[in-house]
Amino acid sequence: MRFKGTLKHRISRTFLLQAGAISVAAVVSVLLAAGVIRHVLVTEALRIEADYFWERYSIDPGFPLPDTRNLTGYFVTSSQDENLPMALRGLAEGFHDVSSDSDFTTAYVTEREGRHLYLVFDGERVNELAAYFGLIPLMVVLLVLYLSVWLAYRASHRAVSPVAWLAREVDRLDPDAPDAEVFAGQRLPADADEEVRVLTTALGGFARRLDDFVERERAFTRDASHELRTPLTVIRVAADILLQRDDLSGEACRSVQRIRRSSDEMEELVEAFLLLAREAEKGLPLQPVSINDVVDEEIDKLSLIAGDKILDVQVHADCVLTVEAPSQAVSAVIGNLLRNAFAYTDNGCIEIRIRPRHIVVVDSGVGMTQQDVEEVFRPFFRADSARVDGHGVGMTIVRRLSDRFDWPVEIRSREGSGTSVKVGFPSGECTVLSSTQEN
């Protein structure tokens, strides 16, 4: 979608185009008017003068020829052409535009009873008349036009300025900490219209409701995560005690182990929720984090809960990748990706490739369909091929953190052939290794 610029710029362009169009129309009109003056009024005046002279001449052969500042007459027989100015010689009857080197521009030739009447109108006077009656009114029209356009622009600018101010304030509004006082009535520009005041009041109310909602969400996530820690710890400790008993049957032992794994998953989930709550509330401290070290730590954690699975876990590092970010956020992203790879791979290989500015986690597990890939970031989504317990929020947490810190995530998968997840760290710094590291 292509945007057309700000409202003020669009109004300015509209006024400029309008003024330009009217100016062109006015200039063209004046030029056409000058043409009318030259080719219609002048020719009509010459025709009337010629008819009047012939009428008077028929009564009084001594009637004088026209001889004014603008009009000059010549009256000769056909054999007296040498008495005419050079530009008039040989002209047939009718109107003629004569050479501009002469003092005239338009000539009208008539003939009666062997005599020719030449009436010549001074072209320089025509130009002066066009200037007086064309250019001067044009200048006045354009002056009034530009003045009216400028006044209209000033009025529209005053009307639009409060809207532009309101747009800037809305753009600067922080959704995580909306300040409703920004839209207080006393902060409005003095020339704000009533419609802008109504809109500002509505936005102020919306900002207050949004602030209350954000605070409730933070409080719930923080309190719920904190309160769940204690019962989860109790469940985990109780499961550990039960697993140490020798009188448990095989089926009971497997059930307790399942309870233990589920409590671990719930604890990790609570930690992720608490991480997101703290990050949204006050932000987490940024520090240099080694992606390589985080990968090693998460692999060590997951190897303890892999159970009887036979997995070949390989780490291929082209460099030591360091990113400036909260360590908890990096651990949450990589931990969830590796946890999924371990959970959905029964036997086979899990490969972690550390490259400059990104890592790739590749497993040979059950994989996903294309439709599952498109919905994998949806909260509580679980693929049809999922054969393990889970809550369907791990990838949602990955997406939320990746969006927050601008870490793009790409997923490629094929059902029955495994999954590849790539996470980019555009601001990461690389220290090239001399050889490939494998774990």
Same domain, 328 and 200: no
Check if the beta carbon of residue 157 is closer than 8 Å to that of residue 127.
no
| Count of Cβ atoms closer than 10 Å to residue 83 Cβ | 12
HEC string of the chain?
A: CCCCCCHHHHHHHHHHHHHHHHHHHHHHHHHHHHHHHHHHHHHHHHHHHHHHHHHHHHHCCCCCCCECCCEEEEEEEHHHHHHCCHHHCCCCCEEEECCCCCCCCEEEEEEECCEEEEEEECHHHHHHHHHHHHHHHHHHHHHHHHHHHHHHHHHHHHHHHHHHHHHHHHHHCCCCCCCHHHHCHHHCCCCCCHHHHHHHHHHHHHHHHHHHHHHHHHHHHHHHHHHHHHHHHHHHHHHHHHHCCCCCCHHHHHHHHHHHHHHHHHHHHHHHHHHHHHHHHHCCCCEEEEHHHHHHHHHHHHHCCCCCCEEEEEEEEEEEEEEEECHHHHHHHHHHHHHHHHHCCCEEEEEEEEECCEEEEEECCCCCCHHHHHHCCCCCCCCCCCCCCCCCCHHHHHHHHHHHHCCCEEEEEECCCEEEEEEECCCCEEEEEEEEECC
Check if the beta carbon of residue 402 is closer than 8 Å to that of residue 408.
yes
CA atoms within 13 A on the CB side of 380: 0
Check if the beta carbon of residue 351 is closer than 8 Å to that of residue 316.
yes
Give burial (CB, 10 Å; 0-12/13-18/19+) of 393: middle
User: What tokens appear for 132 in the block?
Assistant: 């007086």
User: What tokens appear for 274 in the block?
Assistant: 């608490």
Among the listed residues 230, 361, 381, 369, the one whose alpha carbon sits nearest the alpha carbon of residue 298 = 361
CA atoms within 13 A on the CB side of 387: 11
> Number of structural domains, the chain?
3
Whether 144 maps to a domain, the answer reads no
Same domain, 394 and 344: yes
CATH number of the structural domain spanning residue 303? 3.30.565.10
Check if the beta carbon of residue 323 is closer than 8 Å to that of residue 339.
no
Same domain, 293 and 427: yes
Same domain, 277 and 295: no
Whether 169 maps to a domain, the answer reads no
Tell me the backbone φ, ψ of residue 151, rounded to 5 degrees.
-65, -40
Same domain, 269 and 307: no
Check if the beta carbon of residue 358 is closer than 8 Å to that of residue 352.
no
Same domain, 254 and 378: no
pLDDT at 283: 58
Same domain, 180 and 211: yes
Using CA atoms, how far apart are residues 353 and 363, in angstroms rounded to an integer?
Answer: 11
283, 305, 327 — which closes off a domain?
283
Strand-strand pairing, 94-97 and 106-112: antiparallel
Using CA atoms, how far apart are residues 50 and 34, in angstroms rounded to an integer?
Answer: 23
pLDDT at 102: 47
Whether 148 maps to a domain, the answer reads no
Using CA atoms, how far apart are residues 202 and 216, in angstroms rounded to an integer?
Answer: 21
DSSP state string for 250-312: HHHHHHHHHHHHHHHHHHHHHHHHHHHHHHHHH----EEEEHHHHHHHHHHHHHTS-TT-EEE
pTM recorded for the entire structure: 0.48
pLDDT at 424: 94
Whether 211 maps to a domain, the answer reads yes
Contacts of 409 (CB under 8 A, 6+ apart): 398, 399, 402, 421, 422, 423, 424
Whether 54 maps to a domain, the answer reads yes
283, 307, 328 — which closes off a domain?
283
Whether 166 maps to a domain, the answer reads no
Domain residue limits at 204: 174-283
CATH number of the structural domain spanning residue 215? 1.10.287.130
Same domain, 20 and 37: yes
| Count of Cβ atoms closer than 10 Å to residue 397 Cβ | 22
253, 268, 283 — which closes off a domain?
283
3-state secondary structure of 99: coil
Same domain, 270 and 338: no
pLDDT at 438: 45
Whether 41 maps to a domain, the answer reads yes
Same domain, 238 and 325: no
Using CA atoms, how far apart are residues 296 and 352, in angstroms rounded to an integer?
Answer: 10
Check if the beta carbon of residue 336 is closer than 8 Å to that of residue 369.
no
Whether 45 maps to a domain, the answer reads yes
Same domain, 30 and 103: yes
Same domain, 274 and 331: no
What are the pLDDT tens digits along the chain (439 aa)?
Answer: 444 556 566 676 777 777 777 777 777 777 776 666 666 777 888 889 899 999 998 888 888 888 887 788 888 887 677 778 887 888 888 888 776 554 457 888 998 888 889 888 876 666 666 666 666 777 777 788 778 777 777 777 677 677 777 777 777 776 666 666 666 766 666 666 667 777 777 777 777 787 777 777 777 766 666 667 778 778 888 888 888 888 878 888 888 877 877 777 677 667 666 666 665 555 567 889 999 999 998 888 777 666 667 788 899 998 999 999 888 788 889 988 998 888 888 888 999 999 999 999 999 888 888 888 888 877 666 665 555 555 566 788 888 888 888 999 999 988 888 899 999 999 889 888 765 444 4
